[in-house]
């Protein structure tokens, strides 16, 4: 049976672009074929879960019914009342499927993972929870089943983002870009597809994953068996796995953005030269941006807002430090319930706290600033990030505890 994993091989792109051609022609002539777009989206999602992945297909249907009822029910409720407890319960219920799937890894509940898990559950949960939070704020007032389905099941970004926002997406999907703008989007799409091929297939899959990484990793394991867990071979492992992470993921994001552009949807970009960041805060404004902005707007800012409004903590610095650690810890847990993801989150939380203290110090004192200090800042930030990616990679777990 035909099974198509998103952006996995050249064949996928040929089928995808053929399927999208009628849509592109329509957009060129100022028409958006909404039904066709939905059918293509559904067909590709179906093909993701066809064959031996059929149980994921059932899981996504169950998941969609669950989220549908929650978002719809909460919108109806919100018109009449606005109780905080109800809001928290609905939000937790929306996260519940994802939470159970994440929990099934360390507890070895394979039946839970089989029953509820599917590729893209994280990204669909972000979409749904975002809608619930905005409904709470009164920014989303109506539940439109048709637009809800189109937002949730928009195929290009289902497996790995970028994470779009409901109101932004709806504005795009209910209008047609004018011809000049659409042609510019197509032009960008072509460029992003080829850049994505270079990043994902050539640099990540070919150079790092099948060539560099297996070699340096086996050398590290070999050396660790003689000299103990902290071997110098961890340094090349660190750079190779960190760079691989970027090229692999940035490549996927480029594919997703390019595909969305062909469909006339301006999904936000996910990466903006992250390794040129001068500090850790800037890094999170350039790395996996739609995720970090999601966390910034829906977790960090809401957390700070709550603390400040209720006046629980007087000190501004303490508040922001707590919020950083909380925010990044949640992100760590979201990646998965493994020690290395949680340590990764904590590492970045503490890193942001230190970074903020430094920025405050710099503001007060006259710290020299020139081209050399900027280059030094970029160098330090890059290496701090690389250490965090080595933790994230999980290789240390294999090396030390397995």
Partner 1 sequence: MAVKEEVVEILNTIIGEDISDQMDDDFFESGLLDSMSTVELLLDLESKFNIQAPVSEFNRDEWNTPNKVIAKVESLIG
Q: State yes or no: residue 322 binds partner 1 (CB under 8 A).
A: no
Contacts of the segment 295-300: beta carbons below 8 A, 24+ positions apart: 295/327, 295/330, 295/331, 296/327, 298/129, 298/130, 298/133, 299/326, 299/327, 299/330, 300/324, 300/326, 300/327
Note if 365 is an active site residue: no
Query: Residues near 127 by Cβ (< 8 Å), separated by ≥ 6?
Result: 151, 152, 163, 164, 166
Give the residue among 97, 230, 79, 64 at the shortest CA–CA distance from 143.
Answer: 79
Q: Are 9 and 3 a contacting pair, CB within 8 Å?
A: no
Binding mask 343-382 for partner 1 (x = CB under 8 A): ----------------------------------------
Query: Residues 75-114 vs partner 1: string with x where CB under 8 A?
Result: ----------------------------------------
Closest C-alpha to 331, from 318, 341, 320: 341
Q: Which of 55, 227, 288, 335 is catalytic?
A: 335
Binding part of the chain for partner 1, among 204-212, 266-274, 317-325, 368-376 by CB under 8 A, reads 317-325
- Residue 185 burial by CB count (10 A; 0-12/13-18/19+): exposed, middle or buried? buried
Count of residues in contact with partner 1, rule CB under 8 A: 20
* Residues with Cβ within 8 Å of residue 23, at least 6 apart in sequence: 32, 33, 36, 37, 40, 262, 263, 264
Query: How far is it, in rounded angstroms, from Cα 257 to Cα 157?
Result: 8
Is 400 a binder of partner 1 (CB under 8 A)?
A: no
User: Does the protein bind partner 1 through residue 41 (CB under 8 A)?
Assistant: no
309 binds partner 1 (CB under 8 A): yes
Q: Is 134 in the site for partner 1 (CB under 8 A)?
A: yes
Q: Does 300 bind partner 1 (CB under 8 A)?
A: yes
Under the criterion CB under 8 A, does residue 305 sit at the interface with partner 1? yes
CA torsion, ordered 47, 48, 50, 54, to nearest 10 deg: -150
Q: For partner 1, which residue of 36, 319, 325, 333 counts as binding (CB under 8 A)?
A: 319
Q: Which stretch binds partner 1 (CB under 8 A): 41-49, 56-64, 69-77, 304-312?
A: 304-312
- Residue 135 DSSP class: H
Residues 270-299 that bind partner 1 (CB under 8 A): 281, 296-298
Using CB under 8 A, which of 71, 94, 129, 133 touches partner 1?
133
CB of 79 to partner 1, least distance (A): 16
CA distance 78 to 80: 5
Q: Does 316 bind partner 1 (CB under 8 A)?
A: yes
Q: How far is the CB of 315 from partner 1 (least distance, A)?
A: 12
What tokens appear for 387 in the block?
A: 């250490």
Any idea which residues carry the catalytic annotation? 335
- Contact residues for partner 1 (CB under 8 A)? 133-134, 137-139, 281, 296-298, 300-302, 304-305, 308-309, 316, 319-320, 323
């Amino acid at each position: 049976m035909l099974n198509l994993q998103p952006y996995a091989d050249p064949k996928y792109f040929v089928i995808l672009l053929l399927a999208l051609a009628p849509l592109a022609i329509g957009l060129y002539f100022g028409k958006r074929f909404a039904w066709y777009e939905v059918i293509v989206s559904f067909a590709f999602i179906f093909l993701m879960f066809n064959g031996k992945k059929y149980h994921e297909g059932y899981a996504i249907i169950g998941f969609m019914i669950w989220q549908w009822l929650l978002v719809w029910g909460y919108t109806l409720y919100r018109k009449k009342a606005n109780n905080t407890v109800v809001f928290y319960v609905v939000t937790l219920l929306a996260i519940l499927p994802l939470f159970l799937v994440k929990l099934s890894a360390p507890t070895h509940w394979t039946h839970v993972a089989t029953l509820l898990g599917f590729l893209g559950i994280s990204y669909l949960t972000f979409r749904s929870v975002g809608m619930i939070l905005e409904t709470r704020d009164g920014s989303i007032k109506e539940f439109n089943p048709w637009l809800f389905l189109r937002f949730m099941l928009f195929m290009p970004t289902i497996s790995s983002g970028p994470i779009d926002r409901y109101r932004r997406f709806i504005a795009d999907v209910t209008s047609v870009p004018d011809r000049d703008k659409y042609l510019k989007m197509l032009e960008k799409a072509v460029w992003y597809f080829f850049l994505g091929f270079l990043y994902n297939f050539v640099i990540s899959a070919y150079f790092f994953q099948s060539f560099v990484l297996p070699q340096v990793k086996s050398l590290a394991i070999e050396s660790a068996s003689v000299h103990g867990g902290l071997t110098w071979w961890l340094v090349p492992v660190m750079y190779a796995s960190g760079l691989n992470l970027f090229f692999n993921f940035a490549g996927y994001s480029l594919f997703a953005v390019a595909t969305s552009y062909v469909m006339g949807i301006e999904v936000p970009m996910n990466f903006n030269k992250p390794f040129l960041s001068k500090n850790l805060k800037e890094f999170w404004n350039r790395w996996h941006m739609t995720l970090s902005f999601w966390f910034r707007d829906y977790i960090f800012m809401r957390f700070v807002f709550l603390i400040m409004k209720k006046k629980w903590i007087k000190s501004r610095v303490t508040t922001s430090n707590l919020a950083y650690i909380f925010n990044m810890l949640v992100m760590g847990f979201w990646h998965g319930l493994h020690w290395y993801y949680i340590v990764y989150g904590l590492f970045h939380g503490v890193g942001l706290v230190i970074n903020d203290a430094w920025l405050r110090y710099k503001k007060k004192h006259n710290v020299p600033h020139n081209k050399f200090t900027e280059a030094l800042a970029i160098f330090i930030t890059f290496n701090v990030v690389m250490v965090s990616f080595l933790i994230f990679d999980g290789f240390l777990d294999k090396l030390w505890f397995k």
